[in-house]
Amino acid sequence: MPLKLLNNKLVICSILICLLLALSPAVSAAPEIPPKPDTFDYVFDYAEMIEPQDEDMISSLGRELDEKTGAQLVAVTVEALGNSTIEEYANKLFRTWGLGDREKNNGVLLLVNRENVLSGSPGRVRIEVGYGLEGAIPDALAGRILDNYVLPRWEQQQYSEGILQGYLAVASEVAGEYNITVEGSYDPVPAETGSGSGQGADGGAPFMGFFVAIFIIILVIAMNRKNKRRGGRDDDEFGGRGGWGGGGFFGGGGFGGRGGGGFGGGGGFGGGSSGGGGASR
């Protein structure tokens, strides 16, 4: 019968479609986690998103942090995540490589997914924090680092700079946790808000800044006079806190060449683990 024959063909087609769908994960499955590298470093730019000079800075800072604290902060870029979420991928990579000390679990992973960075989709970047540093870098702080240092630069297509500044900001918190200073100019710089750097199209912007400065000067003079009438203190109530995170890394006079004995080459991956703490964007 023609109708019966048609039904048989539909059944066969349905079976073939099911077989194709069953085989499709071989094509669309998540890429395998990169194996633990034979040569240890603090930056692995598989997606080629980081400029050479930024790679050098990350590597140097990561090595010094490792030597002075035992903490391992590693930046990794990948082309895509396949069907994995960035949380799954980051946690698996962290555990497979074993970031941080096995006992202290003091590793941090900065993972960047190039595919979603370029498309602007969620799952662009994650800070994965080892158990031992979750107190120093809680989830909310990790999220603020991404929001203030990384994402605004990516919106301006400054991909390498965003990764570098995110790394520096995390490193600041790690060094502050261990109360150490490092040598070199590694201060993280929050991204500018608004329409970007430069004077812009409005030629009146410099004049506005001038008037704001005059207003601030007048306000300071008025406050000083008021304090003198009251016999106020001469000390600076805003002084001495240092920028990000207070103390430790960049506080107290910057990077004045103190610190111990240069770089000794860093060990390998320490076998640390992560419980899934951190933040993603």
Can you tell me whether residue 258 is helix, strand or coil?
Answer: coil
Res 268: pLDDT: 82
- Any domain includes 211: no
Q: Would you say residue 108 has pLDDT above 60?
A: yes
- pLDDT category at 244 given cuts 50, 70, 90 is very low
Q: Would you say residue 102 has pLDDT above 70?
A: yes
Q: For residues 62 and 21, what is the distance between their CA atoms, to the nearest angstrom?
A: 44
- Any domain includes 236: no
Q: Would you say residue 3 has pLDDT above 60?
A: no
- Any domain includes 37: no
Say if residues 267 and 40 touch (Cβ distance below 8 Å): yes
CATH of residue 76's domain is 3.10.310.50
Say if residues 143 and 107 touch (Cβ distance below 8 Å): no
pLDDT tens profile 188-218 = 999 885 433 333 333 344 444 555 556 566 6
Percent pLDDT > 90 in the chain is 54
Placement of tokens 């499955």 in the chain: 29
Res 8: pLDDT: 60
pLDDT tens profile 17-69 = 544 444 444 444 545 889 999 999 999 999 999 999 999 999 999 999 999 99
Other Cβ atoms less than 10 A from the Cβ of 64: the count is 25
- Any domain includes 177: yes
pTM: 0.67
Out of 11-20, 174-183, 233-242, pick the least confident: 233-242
Q: Would you say residue 71 has pLDDT above 60?
A: yes
Q: What angle do CA 105, 74, 196 make, to 5 degrees?
A: 130
Rg of the Cα trace of the chain? Answer: 25
Q: Would you say residue 263 has pLDDT above 90?
A: no
pLDDT tens profile 133-158 = 999 999 999 999 999 999 999 999 99
- Any domain includes 164: yes
Domain with 156 in it:
43-192+245-257
- Any domain includes 146: yes
Res 90: pLDDT: 98
Q: Would you say residue 247 has pLDDT above 60?
A: no
- Reading the block at residue 248, the tokens are 């430790």
Which run of H or of E encompasses 225?
Answer: helix 205-229
Per the structure, the count of domains in the chain is 1
- Any domain includes 232: no
- Any domain includes 50: yes
